[in-house]
Structure formats: structure tokens, C-alpha cells
Amino acid sequence: MKRQYFYIAILALLLPTLLRGLWFYRGTPPQRPEIVTPDYASFTRPEVAINTPDLDDVQQLGGTVLVDVAHSNQFALSEIDSLTSAIQARGGNFKTISDITLLENELKTASAYITISPSLAFSESEVQSLKNFTERGGRILVFVDATRYYLGFDYISDNPIPYGDVNAANSLLKQWDISVNNDYLYNTERNEGNFRNVLFDDFGKNELTFGLSEVALYGARSVESGSGMILLQGPATNLSSIDDAHDPNAGGAILSEDESVAVFGDFTFLSQPYSAYTDNAALIQNLADFILSSQQTASLDVFPYLFKQQTVKVFILPDVRKTANLVSAMGNLQANMRSLNYTLEFVDTMPTSGDVLVIGSFDETTDVDIHLKKADVELEKNLISTVQFGEINRSGNGLLIFNSDQKGSTLILLAGTPDDIITLIGVMGYSGLNTCITSPQVAVCSVGYDDSSYDYSDDTSSETEQPTEPEPEPEATPSG
């Protein structure tokens, strides 16, 4: 009996497994149709059109480009390699400037100034120096980016606060009626792979947009101006994060009214691989041409960098005696000019071409009369008569006249006495015009003692003779 229960228990354990096997494995299964799957091997990945710059017709322009690193700029030089290469291909060179006290002097020899995502505001003196730079013919590029910022901290809560580049950039751009908006542009309908990678296909007519059909910016801010030109404008579906609307008066880039300042709301397009997408490569080439094709007007405003050629001919007018003191002064002049990468060549006759430095006195100006006339300067007996400054005493003052044309640049130094001439030669160095009143073509410098301010006449010092009474004659007396 017990054995019977044992077999029943074994059967109860095996029966479910047996039934499950019979149910699920009932012979050979029917042939199932093959599932149709896509032919992945035949697929090709869509790729963005890549454009490479054409360097066959690049013109050698030369020039120096100053890159700002003095305003806590949120970028690395490696991020602008494409622009750097384009400038170097044209014979230009880069120079970073980190000391704002050197800005005014560095701008005198520069073709352009570039600032990228600055965090610190520009001072009034910096803005004025850059304004003067553009008025002389220099150009400025400003790049901002909505993705660049640095973290500050609240003094009370210690919470992090992101600071972008809008305020710092606008502190400079207000001089040219340009402003950067604290936003980012986006397009959810048509973009370059991401809604913040915005496309632009409507361009202002300018050398900067020549040959462009479509440009992509990545995380760009919008830029606007009341008087400038919108360089990059996109479709109505390009929206601003401020109000989720399209502003037809703002775009991805602006050119100032005087065409000296260009502002871009992004600089990611300058780096690889973004520089090769759409027509970004052509835009970068146009930027290089834009900044290197500028040329500052030759004037005393860029003193002492007045000459275009490396060799400067020096002619001393015949009435100036070459004393030991003058020779010493000329030696110092030669050393100063050498430090400015100029070589002096002393000549015996007045040159008719090339860069020339003339040294003479007020008494004999026959060789330079034509230059005095061009500068509207007349030398009278005791006066220097100028259109810019009126009449000035000759005594104790020296005169600088600068003229520049296609034949070369000529700088004339005139003074009244041998000592004044030597002192005037001393201004030919760094910051030498600090004691001068200047205009682009004429400067009058204090070089000596003005003895004309004293009146040596003895009219006021003569004493008035007092009338004297005649002495009484002695009276005769009886005693004789």
C-alpha cells in the first residue's frame, strides 16, 4: 500500500512536466515566413556639406592683428585656429594684448583689433583709444557667445551666478550704436542638427558676405543696431529666447555704419569642425580680408610710427652746424629709431622720394617751403602762424610738420636755436609728443626758454627827476 502511494506521488510530480512538454513540443513546428528587415548595409549616413577655402587666389596683405586677452575673455586661442590660419595665409600675424596700458601704443601699428567673449567692461580710455583707431582707418571684430560665461557667487547666499559677455561687449559697442542682446537664437523647424544651431541665408551686401549662400552659427546671440547693417539675417522661424519671437531688426551679425566694426553673436563657427560646415569657411576667409585690408591714415596721431619703409633718409639743412652736441643728439636719435625697426641713412641733398626726416632752423626753410605751405604754416619774424593753433611765439618752441603721399612720408623738425634743435630731436622716441600740442599734420613742442615773455625796456624803471630849488645867493653884509 505504501509503495502505491509512493508511485502516485512520483507521478504527480512528473505529470505536469510531461503535460507541459507534450503541449509545447508537439512535433516539428510549421515553417514561419521570414521577417523582412531594412537593408542597413545599404544605408548612407546623411552628412553636412563640407566646404574648404580656396587659397589659390589669396592676396598677401600683411599687417598685425591684436587679440584681446585683457578682459577675462572666455575662449582659448586654439578655438580660432581657422581664422588664425586665414590671416597667416595672407601674411598677417597675431599679437595678444593683456596690458591695457599698452593698448594705445599697440594700436598705432595694428591693422585690426579682435575681442572674443569679454567678461570685464572696457574703460572709457580704452573705448576712446579704439574709437580713435577706427577713425584712423583701423577695424575691430567683436565675437560673443551665448554658451560662454564665468561663475560668480552671491555675497549673501553664496549661490552661483553666471556672468556672460553681453555687458562687457556693449560697454565697447555703444560708441558705434551697436548692442548685443542677452539671449540665444533658435529654430525648431530648420536648423543644422540642433535647434540652437541656426542657419542664415539672407545677407547684407558687403565684402564680408561676398559669395555666401548659407551660414550656420552655434549658440548665437542676436545683435542689433539703429544705424548699422545686418550682415546675417535668417528666416522668420529664427526666434529669440527673450520673447520666442522673430525680430527683423536683429540678426546674427552687424556691421557698423562706418564699416569699421563687425560684431558676431557666435564664435564657435571659427573652430573645427564647424568652420567647414555650410559656407562658414568662405565667411572666415572674408573676415581675414576685411581686417587685413584696413590701413591707418598716416599722421602724427601714430607718432613715432610715421614711416612706411624701413630705411629713413635724414637731411640736415645747410644752416645747421654739426656740433658735438648735435652729433650726440643724432646718435640718440639713431638708437631710438633702431628700437622702432627703422634704419637711418644720412644724405647731403634734399630727397624727392621715400621716407625722409628733415632737421633745420626757422631761419632757412627754402628746401621745405612746399611742406610748410601744404600744412598751412607760416613762419614770421617772431611767430609761428598755424591754422590749427593760431599764432605761437617762435622763442622756446619747436615745430613738427608731417606730410605723406604716394612718394613717401616726410617729417620736418624746425626750431630757433641750436639748443632748441637738439631738444626737439629728443622727441623722436616713445611718447615724445607729451609736451606738444598736436594735430594730424602739425605739432608745436616746448623745447626751451621763452625770453619773449620778458620786457627789458626801462620805460617803467626810469626815475622821474624831481625839480630842485635854486640855492639862495648869499646876502652882502656891512662887514663885507
Dump pLDDT digits (tens) for 135-174.
999 999 999 999 998 777 777 888 887 778 999 999 999 9
Whether residue 300 is predicted with pLDDT greater than 80 in this model: the reply is: yes
pLDDT at residue 429 in the model: 64
Structure-block grid coordinates of residue 308: 612706411
Secondary structure class of 465 (helix, strand, coil): coil
Cβ neighbours of residue 141 closer than 8 Å, sequence gap 6 or more: 112, 113, 114, 115, 261, 262, 263, 264, 287, 290, 291
CA–CA separation, 73 and 145 (whole Å): 11
Whether residue 207 is predicted with pLDDT greater than 60 in this model: the reply is: yes
CATH class of 300-449: alpha beta
Whether residue 450 is predicted with pLDDT greater than 90 in this model: the reply is: no
Q: Which carries the bigger pLDDT value, residue 314 or residue 33?
A: 314
Q: How, if at all, do strands 377-379 and 356-361 pair?
A: unpaired
Query: Phi/psi of residue 380, each to 5°?
Result: -100, -175
Query: Phi/psi of residue 160, each to 5°?
Result: -70, 140
Helix (H) or strand (E) holding 133: helix 124-135
Sheet architecture: strand order including 408-415: 343-347, 311-316, 356-361, 408-415, 397-405, 442-446, 436-438
What percent of the chain lies above the pLDDT cut of 70? 90
Q: Contact 397/444 with Cβ under 8 angstroms?
A: yes
The pTM of the whole model exceeds 0.75: yes
Reported as a single tens digit per residue, the pLDDT across 379-403 is 988 899 999 999 999 999 999 999 9
Domain 64-292 has CATH 3.30.1370.100: no
pLDDT at residue 256 in the model: 96
Q: Measured between alpha carbons, how far is residue 136 from residues 26, 63, 111 in Å?
A: 96, 15, 10
CA–CA separation, 372 and 370 (whole Å): 5
Long-range contact set of residues 332-338: C-beta below 8 Å, sequence gap at least 24: 332/425, 332/426, 333/425, 333/426, 333/428, 336/304, 336/428, 336/429, 336/430, 337/312, 337/428
Whether residue 43 is predicted with pLDDT greater than 80 in this model: the reply is: no
CA–CA separation, 146 and 196 (whole Å): 10
Whether residue 187 is predicted with pLDDT greater than 70 in this model: the reply is: yes
Q: Contact 151/119 with Cβ under 8 angstroms?
A: no
Whether residue 13 is predicted with pLDDT greater than 90 in this model: the reply is: no
What percent of the chain lies above the pLDDT cut of 90? 69
Q: Measured between alpha carbons, how far is residue 76 from residues 145, 268, 287, 394 in Å?
A: 13, 11, 19, 55
Question: At 46, is the pLDDT very low, low, confident or very high (cuts 50, 70, 90)?
Answer: low
pLDDT at residue 30 in the model: 72
Reported as a single tens digit per residue, the pLDDT across 326-372 is 999 999 999 999 998 999 999 999 999 999 999 999 998 999 999 99
Q: Over range 7-26, report the average pLDDT.
A: 80
Helix (H) or strand (E) holding 67: strand 64-68
Cis check for the bond before 273: say yes or no (omega within 30 of 0): yes
Whether residue 243 is predicted with pLDDT greater than 50 in this model: the reply is: yes
Whether residue 480 is predicted with pLDDT greater than 90 in this model: the reply is: no
Whether residue 461 is predicted with pLDDT greater than 50 in this model: the reply is: no
Q: Which carries the bigger pLDDT value, residue 34 or residue 328?
A: 328
Per the prediction, the chain carries an average pLDDT of 88
Question: At 460, is the pLDDT very low, low, confident or very high (cuts 50, 70, 90)?
Answer: very low
Instruction: Select, from the ranges 41-50, 407-416, 421-430, the one with the highest average predicted confidence (pLDDT).
Output: 407-416
pLDDT at residue 437 in the model: 94
Each domain of the chain, given as residue ranges in start order, spans 64-292, 300-449
Reported as a single tens digit per residue, the pLDDT across 49-96 is 667 766 667 888 999 999 999 999 999 999 999 999 999 999 999 999
CA–CA separation, 330 and 107 (whole Å): 28
Whether residue 456 is predicted with pLDDT greater than 90 in this model: the reply is: no
**CA torsion, ordered 472, 473, 476, 477, to nearest 10 deg:** 40
Q: How, if at all, do strands 150-153 and 160-163 pair?
A: antiparallel
CA–CA separation, 445 and 435 (whole Å): 6
